[in-house]
Amino acid sequence: MSAREPSVSVPLPDGRPRLAEAFSSRSADGANTGFVLAHLSRTTRPFLWITDRLTLCEIGEPYAVSRPFIRARLSRPADVLIAAEEGLRCGALSAVVAEIWGNPKVLDFTASKRLAMRAETSGTPCWLIRHGAKADLSAARDRWRLHSLPSAPLPYDPKAPGGSLWHAELFRSRDRRPGHWVASYDRAAHRLHLAPALCDGTLAGVAEEAGRRAAS
């Protein structure tokens, strides 16, 4: 890991409708799901959340989603991709999120290119949440690899769990510098804070800062 990346606080959404992928570094780790949810805009327009059968069996349902959304549970990855593309054609949606397990043949470069072009043409962001998958060839504009970290401590009760922390690696991007960060989400301000992941793995300062933000 590098300690050179700057600490940034990113207002969400970032205004760039595009296709992005979020991989989980560990099987059944919900870090990629939480990270994607943090990116979805706060709006009265619903977003579309699509899941294939294997993901539903292994991961389950999204929990405690505070924004309006439309749920679709489909058997085959091919059906998920078709639904995602149709969702991107719908101007009433704020975003499209598709969960796919593993590396199905149908999710090839051509399929990802179709989603990327559709997202940019329609102005609707699209996320692919990749559970139990390897980062194969893709046209996604941003590709993240994530895993959960111990939660930030609460300043007024250090024994209680605080806000979620994730290790976030941007390993490929069309127009951003790749790097490693410790990510935390400020729910009140709807901001994603990215702090440099230190070379020695020290997270105490980052966790304390995230705890103070959560309490403020």
Report the alpha-carbon distance of residue 123 to residue 89 in Å, rounded.
10
* Number of independent structural domains in the chain: 1
Inter-residue contact 115 to 81 (CB < 8 Å): yes
pLDDT at 7: 52
Query: Which residues, 6 or more positions from 26, have their beta carbon under 8 angstroms from its beta carbon?
Result: 147, 148
Tell the burial category of 77 from Cβ atoms under 10 Å away from its Cβ (0-12, 13-18, 19+): buried
Tokens representing 40 are: 């979805």
Express each pLDDT in 168-182 by its tens digit. Answer: 999 999 888 899 999
Please state the pTM of the whole predicted model. 0.83
Q: Which helix (H) or strand (E) holds 149?
A: strand 142-149
**pLDDT reading at 197 higher than 70:** yes
Is there a domain that residue 1 lies in? Answer: no
Q: Are strands 126-131 and 153-154 parallel, antiparallel or unpaired?
A: unpaired
Query: Which residues, 6 or more positions from 124, have their beta carbon under 8 angstroms from its beta carbon?
Result: 17, 87, 88, 90, 91, 93, 94, 95, 96
Tokens 């990802």, residue located: 112
**What letters, b where the CB count within 10 A reaches 16 and e where it falls short, cover 89-127?**
eeeebbbbbbbbbeebeebeeebbebbbebbbebebbbb
Is there a domain that residue 70 lies in? Answer: yes
Tokens 């606080």, residue located: 9
Is there a domain that residue 3 lies in? Answer: no
**What letters, b where the CB count within 10 A reaches 16 and e where it falls short, cover 17-32?**
bbbbbbbbeeeebbbb
Is there a domain that residue 2 lies in? Answer: no
pLDDT at 28: 77
Q: Per the omega criterion (within 30 degrees of 0), is the bond before 13 cis?
A: yes
Express each pLDDT in 16-71 by its tens digit. Answer: 689 999 998 787 788 899 899 888 888 889 999 999 999 999 888 877 577 789 99
Structural domain span for residue 147: 8-215
CATH number of residue 174's parent domain: 3.40.50.300
Is there a domain that residue 104 lies in? Answer: yes
Tell me which range, 82-96, 144-158, 161-175, is most confidently predicted by mean pLDDT: 82-96
